[in-house]
Amino acid sequence: MRASNHLIGLLNFLTFLLSAVILGGGIWLSSRANNTDCLKFLQWPLIVIGAAIMVVSLAGFTGACYRNTFLMWLYLFAMFFIIAALVGFIIFAYAVTDKGSGRPVMNKGYLEYYLRDYSGWLKDRVVDDDYWANIRSCLRDSKVCSKMGRSFNGVPESFEMFSMRKLSPIQSGCCKPPTDCGFVYVNETLWNIEGGTVGLGTDTDCPRWSNDQQQLCYQCDSCKAGVLDSLKKSWRKVSVINIVVLILLVIFYVIGCAAFRNNKRIDNDEPYGEARMTKAQPSRIQL
């Protein structure tokens, strides 16, 4: 009995540590939302799941230490639904981020992003006017574009150097005009529109570009696509961690169920691993 309780206590302690990992992933997504991704509601399911695992694991740990059968039963019951919720979250995360990616550009180090390459629930959420107004404001406040500037020995980088940079999806989609527009480079966020192909209608984002540092390409479809791709990369990184955590949780849950059944068997004074027989007393024969 004591060994089973120690095992359950150890498993709940490890589960508590795993909940900290999930919470860390949610907090990391939250910091990404505040600084770059700017879509702040996506991290909350992960934070809620992590907090729930932490509370439930503490209940299981207490139940194991004090041999409280009700707390142990509550722990196993709640953990089953938490595992199911984590499975659903992982499936959802992959389902809403399965389409779309940047396109390579000839003789460029960065990728171009097109909104038509993305689809589904997450795209509909991002392009919604109310949500996009908040995202656009967040992008301006994060100053992600103003941080792009580089200089070498006091000389701003040339167009050739800029063209070879590995820009983030948001930097490529929101902070510069699409390459198809053919605008003339002045610096990272300032482009000469004269001589470009904006009048030819090669890209609907071309007339949306503005050299106003508060506007840039924040109204462009390429900016929305850049946000989507940034979200996709963030969610995929967290999902890999969640899959590892899920596998460990399932293993701990199965072991915990076996230990709990063993505890109940001992509490009920049931035989374990051997057959128990009672020896009948022979009756006395009277002559």
What would the pLDDT profile of 62-76 be if each residue is shown by its tens digit? Answer: 766 776 677 778 878
Q: Rounded mean pLDDT of 8-14?
A: 74
CA–CA separation, 33 vs 47, rounded Å?
Answer: 14
150, part of any domain: yes
Domain contains 280? no
159 occurs within a structural domain:
yes
Domain membership flag for residue 107: yes
Span of 8-22, 158-172, 212-226 with lowest mean pLDDT: 8-22
Backbone angles phi, psi at 98, to 5 degrees: -85, -15
Binned at pLDDT 50, 70 and 90, residue 237 comes out as confident
* Token couple for 206: 């071309």
Q: Quick check: is 198 in a domain?
A: yes
Say yes or no to pLDDT of 285 above 50.
Answer: no
Which of the four pLDDT bands, split at 50, 70 and 90, describes residue 1?
A: very low
Tally of structural domains, the chain: 1
In a domain, 197, yes or no: yes
Which is higher by pLDDT, 229 or 197? 229
Please indicate whether residue 31 or residue 186 has the higher confidence score (pLDDT).
186
In a domain, 166, yes or no: yes
The count of other CB atoms within 10 Å of the CB of residue 231 is 24
Task: Of 78, 59, 79, 82, give the one whose Cα is nearest residue 9.
Answer: 59
Q: How far is CA 252 from CA 6, 10, 14, in A?
A: 13, 10, 9
Whether residue 265 lies inside any domain: the answer is no
Q: Give the largest Cα separation in the chain, rounded.
A: 129
Q: Which helix (H) or strand (E) holds 210?
A: none
The residue segments making up the domain with residue 196 are 101-225
